[in-house]
Amino acid sequence: MMAAPRLFVDDDLGEGNEIRLDKQRSHYLRSVMRLNAGASVRLFNGRQGEWRSQIADAGKSVTLKVGENRRAQQQATELWLVFAPIKKDRMDFLIEKATELGVTDLLPVITRRTIVSRVNTDRLKAQVIEASEQCERLDIPTVHEAVKLSDLKSAWPDDRVAFVLDEAGSGGSAAVAMSAKAGHPAACISGPEGGYEKSELDLLRTLPNFVPVSLGPRILRAETAALTSLAIWQSVCGDGEAPPVPQALRD
């Protein structure tokens, strides 16, 4: 059985509510998915869990009638990714995968070797919504405005562990280092292509809970390193042992 389409909406969700979709989502359901009145659509808003709904009107503006609540909202385990922006295709991929891997906060940082001068946060926000719809999560990662690496320290929470992916090799195995900090709020900090400059690494070392981690002998591309660290963290400290959302809740 095909899963019912799943959409993120801003509206409040409750049984009997009517939700009118914008042009783009209306087009998606009507013309791309070819759905008609009566078809099932799942809705979530990041606050109230997931709700079944039915298409009430498949006209130019699709209207949905909200049915029963199928999944209660859950508080996602916080996991930040602090990353240096990279080239478009690779960044698209990074954002999609980081969302699938359960990141709750995306913090772009501008480093000396960052070659991307401007971060289009609206584009990132659209990407995290699409990836969240796809991967069955109930929340949407928060996309923060880009900051300079030199400004990161002043904003750093005292209790948050900073797992810095360090190609200079001062760290131990990521799985070992991360499991030693299980239960602590965490951030993975990945660099630009070409890595951090020495002065930047020195700055990162002054973060209150700095933990350098190694990802093995190969030199990973920026986006590979970021995703690898998130994958390992989820598996040893996060929700890697939770079973996948059952098929029965996806119709």
Question: Closer to its own copies at the Cβ: 45 or 228?
Answer: 228
Q: Which residues are at the interface with its own copies (CB under 8 A)?
A: 93, 96-97, 100-102, 134-137, 167-169, 172-176, 214-221, 224, 227-228, 231-232, 234-236, 238-247
The pairing of beta strand 210-214 with beta strand 172-173: parallel
Identify residue 48 by its one-letter amino acid code: Q
- Using CA atoms of 237, 228, 127, 79 in order, give the dihedral in degrees to the nearest 10: 20
Contact status, residue 18 vs residue 64, Cβ threshold 8 Å = yes
What is the 8-class DSSP label of residue 61?
A: S
> Shortest distance, CB of residue 139 to its own copies, whole angstroms?
11
Q: Sign of dihedral through CA atoms 102, 105, 106, 111?
A: negative
Question: Closer to its own copies at the Cβ: 13 or 103?
Answer: 103
> Shortest distance, CB of residue 49 to its own copies, whole angstroms?
14
Q: Report the alpha-carbon distance of residue 9 to residue 19 in Å, rounded.
A: 9
Question: Closer to its own copies at the Cβ: 61 or 134?
Answer: 134
> Shortest distance, CB of residue 221 to its own copies, whole angstroms?
6
Question: Closer to its own copies at the Cβ: 85 or 195?
Answer: 195
Question: Closer to its own copies at the Cβ: 37 or 176?
Answer: 176
Question: Closer to its own copies at the Cβ: 6 or 20?
Answer: 6
C-alpha triplet 217, 220, 214: angle, nearest 5°:
50
Contact status, residue 228 vs residue 220, Cβ threshold 8 Å = yes
> Shortest distance, CB of residue 121 to its own copies, whole angstroms?
23
> Shortest distance, CB of residue 58 to its own copies, whole angstroms?
26
> Shortest distance, CB of residue 166 to its own copies, whole angstroms?
8
Longest dimension (CA), the chain: 60
Question: How far apart are the two ends of the chain, measured CA to CA in Å?
Answer: 8
